[in-house]
Amino acid sequence: MKETLKVLNGILKAGVVQRYAIGGAVAAIYYLEPIDTVDLDIFVQLKVSGSELSILAPIYEHLSARGYKASGQFVEIEGMPVQFLPVFNPLTEEAVAKAQTIKYARVTTFIMRPEHLVAIMLDTGRPKDYLRIAMFLEQGAVKLRSLMPVLRRHGLVEKWVENEYRFRR
Amino acid sequence: MKTYPDISKLIKAKEAHRRALAALPFERKIELVFKLQQRRRFVKSAQLVRKRRIKA
């Protein structure tokens, strides 16, 4: 994964994206026990905005020029399938903007904060998301005093209250 | 009335193991994920062989 992150930092350095942050299961692993996953979800803040997924084209062009091939929704980068997701609402935009800087094998990278991961999982609302929210709570990996303001800002408090019974034992 | 063993100690040990895993450095956890994927591939390949044998 170290080499994959170096390539991602190259995209950032080249100005293809303004910011990026690791989200999804790999970000969850940073805070929780290891869980099985097939890909690395990278949320990107682009210079351009638009409703079409073609806004991701500059990333694919940059990677293709360096020999990395797209396969379905993934781009295989140094042995790791990477899925790029443009920030698609104010919540994911904030999650990328407020991502924390970490080091992975001495490579600098950016990872979403637990309160944003939990809010995104609540918003997405698949059974596996609820399961992971339960893991965050059970393992004390998210603080409610950090989570609640995020839920309030993004209109998710009601959904939290409605589904809280799923996360708590 | 039939009695069953109390497994609460085992459950607590499992919980402690999960917490210990969660406390590992990120790099180590990613290594473990890769190992998990290798194991999954191995199990899947074994299933494939079994299916082929059944067909044969």
Measured CA to CA, the distance from residue A77 to residue A74 in angstroms comes to 9
pLDDT above 70 for B50: no
Answer whether residue B11 is part of any domain: no
| % of chain A residues with pLDDT over 70 | 99
Q: Are A49 and A93 in a shared domain?
A: yes
Query: pLDDT tens-digit profile of A100-126?
Result: 999 998 999 999 999 999 999 999 999
- Structure ipTM over 0.95, yes or no: no
pLDDT above 80 for B6: no
Q: Are A12 and A64 in a shared domain?
A: yes
Q: Are A68 and A140 in a shared domain?
A: no
Q: Indicate the pTM of the whole model.
A: 0.85
Q: Are A123 and A163 in a shared domain?
A: yes
Answer whether residue B43 is part of any domain: yes
pLDDT above 90 for A162: yes
Cα–Cα distance list, A17 to A13, A72, A106, A164, B46 (Å):
8, 21, 22, 36, 42
Distant-in-sequence, close-in-space partners of B21: CB < 8 Å, separation ≥ 6: A33, A34, B29, B32
Q: Are A94 and A13 in a shared domain?
A: yes
Q: Residue by residue, what is the 3-state secondary structure of B5-52?
A: CCCHHHHHHHHHHHHHHHCCCHHHHHHHHHHHHHHHHHHHHHHHHHHH
pLDDT above 90 for B51: no
- Which residues form the domain of A57? 2-112
Least confident of A96-100, A157-161, B9-13: B9-13
**Interaxial angle between packed helices A90-97 and A114-124, expressed in degrees from 0 to 180 and rounded to the nearest 10:** 160
pLDDT above 90 for A7: yes
Answer whether residue B15 is part of any domain: no
- Which residues form the domain of B32? 25-56
Contact yes or no for B22/A31 (Cβ under 8 A):
yes
HSE, CB side, 13 Å, CA atoms: give it for residue B4. 3
List of chain B residues whose C-beta atoms are within 8 Å of the C-beta of residue A31: 22
Number of domains in chain B: 1
Interchain contact A91–B (C-beta under 8 A): no
The answer for B 7-46 residues in CB contact with A (under 8 A) is 18-19, 21-22, 24, 26-27, 29-30, 32-33, 36-37, 40
Q: Indicate the residue type of A56.
A: L
Number of domains in chain A: 2
Q: Do A104 and B27 touch (CB under 8 A)?
A: yes
pLDDT above 70 for B49: no
Q: Indicate the residue type of A54.
A: S
What's the pLDDT score for residue B19?
A: 87
CATH number for A14? 3.30.460
List of chain B residues whose C-beta atoms are within 8 Å of the C-beta of residue A139: 18-19, 22
What's the pLDDT score for residue A56?
A: 87
